[in-house]
Amino acid sequence: MAENLDEKLNEVTVLKNYNIVVLRGDGIGPEIVAEAIKVLDAAGERFGFQFTYDEQLMGGCAIDATGEPLPQQTIDACKQADSVLLGAVGGWKWDTLPGSKRPEAGLLGIRSALGLYANLRPAKIFEPLKSASPIKDSIIGDQLDILVVRELTGGIYFGERGRCEKNGAPAAYDTESYSVPEIERIARVAFDMAMKRGKKLTSVDKANVLESSRLWRETVIRISKEYPEVELNHMYVDNCAMQLVRNPAQFDVIVTSNMFGDILSDEASMISGSIGMLASASLAGSSLGLYEPIHGSAPDIAGQGIANPLATILSVAMMLRYSFDEAEAADAIEAAVDEALRRARTPDIKEDGIPVVSTGEMGDLVAKLTAGE
Ligand code: NAD
């Protein structure tokens, strides 16, 4: 009897299951998220895991259904989940509502409710899209793949601010301040990312002028002792802004403060040349993360089947890599996107000689290639 049971248990393959809260949002959100889910399922089937999707409301659709951009039920579901996939929120219909009642208030609300203090923005050029980059081929070189890790919940955006008087004239101030634990935790995220990539980390600060930057640098150097395999260097933010366009291939992972990261991640991501290709992740230090394309809900093209789903598809590749440690599946999705770009294009990245396809056709193609067909 016992032997029979053992044999039976051996026959049953229990697949790993990941619970994902899905926030489709508004505008093109539902269209692009549908394609990303196709690709996740294809990756799961090939690499031996599966997903449970829990659909929740955020943004304009949540306002229409409940009167709130971020219902408590959505927050509770996200806190229970292994990860969160977001399309985009916002649209003309809700533009006249007061700030705290607008769809975009849901974005800030969910980031703070989940304690997402690390924002990851990759800037990668896919070979077939090289010509869309504003940077010359000779500068890009063979490969460009940078990850900007930005501190998201501290620094000057959250520091003390106010109006005052200076030399008898009206004045204003904002304060940049970082505590050691805040720097330690973002540094560890960045070192962990570097370990999963090229083992090279550039910490960006303004330590020649700012005391908060000197503390930043000291702390990053101390944390680097925990990661002897990672090569660490430091760069002033003004130099980094210049180096990103002069010699971007020198970077692997960049870690920096909230404000410097805000500016540098936009600069770095634009090297890739197309808003429909840019993914992002926000992490809370645990495996829970919020994954979303950096573009908005594009109400001007919603419902037409012409949106580019690749930024959202690349966001789920990040989810597999950073929340679930499924690097092989993430690599497969990125390789599938690269191949899909050689065979077809959505209208926003169309190129002579390559057929133009719809949102759904692009999703089907990437899913097929991810499945290894
Ligand atoms: P947007 O990113 O939605 O659109 C800018 C331009 O890029 C538009 O012409 C749009 O058609 C195009 N575009 C964007 N994504 C595309 C895609 N995947 N494929 C093809 N073309 C694409 O920015 P916007 O127009 O300034 O904002 C529209 C709405 O989105 C606003 O309500 C804004 O507040 C909101 N928004 C939301 C987020 C988010 O949910 N994270 C981010 C930014 C803006």
Q: pLDDT of 110-125, one tens digit each?
A: 988 999 999 999 998 8
Whether 145 sits among the annotated catalytic residues: the reply is no
Residue 9 has pLDDT above 60, yes or no: no
Catalytic residue among 6, 64, 76, 238: 238
Candidate of 297, 301, 315, 341 to mutate for ligand 1, largest count of ligand atoms within 8 Å of Cβ: 297
Q: Could you confirm whether 262 is annotated as catalytic?
A: yes
- Identify whether the C-beta of residue 44 lies closer than 8 Å to the C-beta of residue 50: yes
Task: Report residues whose beta carbon is within 6 angstroms of any ligand 1 atom.
Answer: 28, 32, 88-91, 104, 107, 275-276, 292, 295-301, 307-308, 311, 348
Measured from the Cα of 25, ligand 1's closest atom is: 40
In whole angstroms, give the CA distance from residue 256 to residue 68: 33
Q: Is 157 a catalytic residue?
A: yes
Phi (first) and psi of residue 179, to 5 degrees:
-90, 160
Q: Is pLDDT at 35 greater than 70 in this prediction?
A: yes
Q: For residue 294, which of 266, 330, 323, 322 has the smallest C-alpha distance?
A: 266
For residues 186-196, average pLDDT: 95
Question: What is the gyration radius of the CA atoms in the chain, in angstroms?
Answer: 22
Q: pLDDT tens, 316-344? A: 999 999 899 999 999 999 999 999 999 99
26 is catalytic: no
Kindly report the pTM of this predicted structure: 0.90
Residue scoring higher pLDDT (100 or 242): 242
Q: Whose C-alpha lies nearest to ligand 1, atom 42?
A: 296
pLDDT in tens, 60-88: 999 999 999 999 999 999 999 999 999 99
CB–CB of 347/317 below 8 Å? Answer: no
Looking at 18, 206, 227, 252, which residue is catalytic?
Answer: 206
Strands annotated E in the chain: 16-25, 49-55, 83-88, 118-124, 145-151, 161-166, 169-174, 200-205, 231-236, 253-256, 279-283, 289-293
Separation of alpha carbons 19 and 279, rounded Å: 20
CA distance 90 to 5: 54
Residue whose CA lies nearest to ligand 1 atom number 7: 298
Domains belonging to the chain, first-starting first, are 1-119+275-373 (3.40.718.10), 134-271 (3.40.718.10)
Our separate counts of H helices and E strands in the chain read: 13, 12
* Residue in 328, 337, 346, 234 with CA at minimum distance from that of residue 46: 328
From the list 93, 262, 338, 368, the catalytic residue is 262
| β partners of residue 122 | 147
Q: How far is CA 325 from the centre of its chain?
A: 16
Atom of ligand 1 nearest to the CA of 293: 41
Residue nearest to atom 22 of ligand 1 (CA): 276
Tell me the C-alpha distance between 68 and 64, whole Å: 8
Under the banding of pLDDT at 50, 70 and 90, the label for residue 303 is: very high
CA of 274 to the centre of ligand 1 (A): 12
Model pLDDT, residue 373? 85
Q: Is 266 a catalytic residue?
A: yes
Instruction: Name the active-site residue from 199, 266, 338, 368.
Output: 266
The tokens describing 67, both together, are: 């009167």
Q: For residue range 262-296, list pLDDT tens digits in order.
A: 999 888 888 877 888 999 999 997 778 999 999 99
How high is the pLDDT of residue 297?
97
SS3 229: coil
CA of 295 to the centre of ligand 1 (A): 5
- How close are the terminal C-alpha atoms of the chain, in Å? 42
- Ligand 1 centroid to 270 CA: how many Å? 15
Residue with the smallest CA separation from ligand 1 atom 1 is: 296
Given 157, 199, 200, 236, the catalytic residue:
157
Residue 276 CA to ligand 1 centre (angstroms)? 9
**What SS3 state is found at 217?**
helix
